Amino acid sequence: MRIDKYLCDGLGISRKEATKLLKSGDVTVDDVMIKSGSVKVKEGQSVAWQERPIVLRGPRYLMMNKPEGVVCSHEDGFNHTVFVLIDEVRYEDLHFAGRLDVDTTGLLLITDDGQWSHRITSPKHKCDKTYRVWLADPVQDDYQHKIAEGILLRNEREPTLPAQMEVVGENEVLLTIHEGKYHQVKRMFAALGNKVVGLHRERIGNITLDADLELGEYRDLTEQEIQSIFNKTTG
Ligand code: URA
């Protein structure tokens, strides 16, 4: 790889900035000063800027405990985006493996690996997502059955896939769905004549929200969590 491209990828800077860094004489490859952007960096060589090593990272996989009030997008004219909470280079390469609404909290997976996120979001893979749901009105006896049968949402032709609901309290349930239609959970309870007043995602596939993460905090996924999506996403 050319040294200027290496600097762009490793430091999250533009080609113009990389050229400037090289001109400054602070960049070395195996302790030899390099000024030309066209020099090739070979496997095993060490690149440094002002004697600090620059290491290329592989794909990134993050889990955030999303707070209310931030949107899952790169730009929004009205609200802050999730990216105000993320301190990562090349953050513009990151995307969400399943968005959450602005008022929904909980598990948000963020990555720059499109194949990985596809296994979470593609309907073909039927990846489970579990939500804790707080309702305006008490849970009715027929909800469990109706949710297990599939519910026809407004403006849809096909009912939702069979889902599982566990009653946690008079107005609180845990709902596991296997697809991700637009505002799906809110629309499912609207179709049942109720209203979602609080929504928190707890699990995606075999990845559970880390209880140590405060709202707005994030961490890297473990290798096991990353691989769990490649190994099995269906429930
Ligand atoms: N379903 C919703 O209605 N909202 C979300 O944020 C996630 C699932």
Rounded to an integer, what distance in angstroms lies between the CA atom of residue 140 and that of residue 221? 38
Atom of ligand 1 nearest to the CA of 104: 6
Q: 171: CA distance to ligand 1 center in Å?
A: 17
44/65 same-domain check: no
Question: Quick check: 138 pLDDT over 70?
Answer: yes
The range of the structural domain enclosing residue 158 comes to: 128-204
Rounded to an integer, what distance in angstroms lies between the CA atom of residue 111 and that of residue 116? 8
Q: What is the pLDDT of residue 89?
A: 73
Q: Kindly report, residue by residue over 45-85, the tens digit of the pLDDT.
A: 999 999 999 988 789 999 999 999 999 999 988 899 999 99
117/136 same-domain check: no
117/216 same-domain check: yes
168/223 same-domain check: no
153/189 same-domain check: yes
132/186 same-domain check: yes
pLDDT band at 232 (very low <50, low <70, confident <90, very high): low
Ligand 1: lining residues by beta carbon, under 6 Å = 100-101, 104, 183-186, 199
Atom of ligand 1 nearest to the CA of 100: 6
pLDDT band at 87 (very low <50, low <70, confident <90, very high): confident
Question: Quick check: 156 pLDDT over 80?
Answer: yes
Number of independent structural domains in the chain: 3
* Residue of 9, 26, 93, 101 with catalytic role: 101
Q: Kindly report, residue by residue over 113-122, the tens digit of the pLDDT.
A: 999 999 999 9
Please report, for the domain that includes residue 12, its CATH number: 3.10.290.10
151/46 same-domain check: no
